């Protein structure tokens, strides 16, 4: 099925049509800067402009950087607080809406390193915040929010996100030390069989992964930062299929 995937991030909103059988982007992706403030109406306008750009009439999947349950936004740590309580699925014209890290995780589980993996797999995205997607035998446990684990008296994402590296002017090695400590904590809690590191930083994995030592195998995301778009499209395709059955 061909589905338009749109990934809403703290700095950019990216979209492209996706072949959900292969996980391939069908056209070059379009990126628009996230409006400031990132209030619901302003973001909805950008989402609508991406739909128009691709002249799209088919199903649409959209990611959101917060907890999303049944299309309704429950938290907004890194975007405008006005999102809390908004029916995002309705606002985006009936699109399937899900958490950004869950979407990235679904894409990795279907087309990337998590493919065919049984047991507990964690996909952690490092960007403006830290996002998490937890899988058990390939099934997603949605909205896990492991970026907000309390660590050194703070939300972990305030110490170890990619934004924290930039804001605190940390070298890759210094940042890797923080990421390793966080990952050890997560490892202790979940005993995963694989941890996949996603988000924009996954493209620069060679700069920090060699400094991180864990007992759990650690892989950079295979889909780099296209994973959100692909996962959003994949979720919408699944949604369309289940609706068809019901």
| Residues found near ligand BGC in the complex (CB under 6 A) | 65-67, 75, 77-78, 99-101, 125, 127-129, 131, 145, 147, 157
Report the nearest approach of ligand BGC to the CB of residue 17 (Å). 23
To ligand BGC, the closest distance from the beta carbon of 7 in angstroms equals: 10
Smallest distance from ligand BGC to CB 160, Å: 12
Within 13 Å of residue 5, how many CA atoms lie on the same side as its CB? 36
Find out whether 198 and 124 touch, Cβ atoms under 8 Å. Answer: yes
**Closest CA relative to residue 58, chosen from 20, 108, 99:** 20
Q: Report the distance separating Cα 37 and Cα 130, nearest Å.
A: 21
Nearer to ligand BGC, 96 or 125 (CB): 125
Nearer to ligand BGC, 91 or 134 (CB): 134
Residue 28 Cβ, how far from ligand BGC at the closest point, in Å?
A: 24
Rounded to whole angstroms, how far apart are CA atoms 18 and 25?
Answer: 4
- Cβ-proximal residue to ligand BGC, closest one: 129
Closest distance between ligand BGC and the C-beta of residue 241, in Å? 25
Q: Which long-range contacts (CB under 8 A, 24 or more apart) does 175-178 make?
A: 175/208, 176/208, 176/209, 176/211, 176/212, 177/211
Place of tokens 């493919």: 115
> In this complex, which beta carbon is closest to ligand BGC, that of residue 112 or of residue 199?
199
Nearer Cβ to ligand BGC (54/208): 208
Question: Is the Cβ of residue 54 or residue 89 nearer to ligand BGC in the bound state?
Answer: 89
CB of 63 to ligand BGC, least distance (A): 8
Q: Which is nearer to ligand BGC, 59 or 131 (CB)?
A: 131
Long-range CB contacts for residues 45-48, cutoff 8 Å, separation at least 24: 46/13, 47/6, 47/8, 47/13, 47/15, 47/92, 47/95, 48/93
| Residue 142 contacts residue 96 (beta carbons within 8 Å) | no
Tokens of 241: 């299929």
């Amino acid at each position: 099925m061909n589905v338009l995937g749109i990934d809403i991030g703290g700095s950019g909103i990216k979209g492209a049509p996706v072949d959900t059988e292969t996980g391939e982007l069908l056209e070059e992706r379009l990126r628009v800067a996230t409006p400031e403030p990132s209030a619901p109406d302003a973001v909805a306008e950008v989402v609508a402009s991406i739909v128009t750009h691709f002249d799209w009439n088919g199903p649409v999947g959209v990611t959101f950087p917060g907890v999303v349950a049944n299309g309704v936004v429950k938290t907004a740590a890194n975007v405008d607080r006005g999102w809390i309580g908004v029916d995002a699925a309705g606002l985006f014209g009936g699109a399937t809406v899900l958490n950004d890290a869950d979407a990235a995780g679904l894409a990795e589980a279907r087309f990337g390193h998590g493919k065919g993996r049984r047991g507990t797999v964690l996909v952690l995205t490092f960007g403006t915040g830290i996002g998490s997607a937890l899988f058990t035998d390939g099934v997603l446990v949605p909205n896990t929010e492991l970026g907000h684990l309390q660590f050194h008296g703070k939300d972990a994402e305030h110490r170890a996100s990619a934004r924290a590296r930039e804001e605190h002017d940390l070298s890759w090695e210094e940042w890797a030390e923080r990421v390793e400590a966080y990952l050890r904590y997560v490892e202790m809690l979940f005993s995963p069989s694989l941890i996949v590191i996603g988000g924009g930083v996954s493209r620069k994995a060679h700069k920090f992964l060699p400094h991180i030592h864990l007992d759990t195998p650690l892989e950079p995301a295979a889909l780099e930062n296209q994973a959100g778009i692909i996962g959003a499209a994949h979720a919408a395709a699944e949604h369309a299929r289940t609706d068809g059955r019901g």
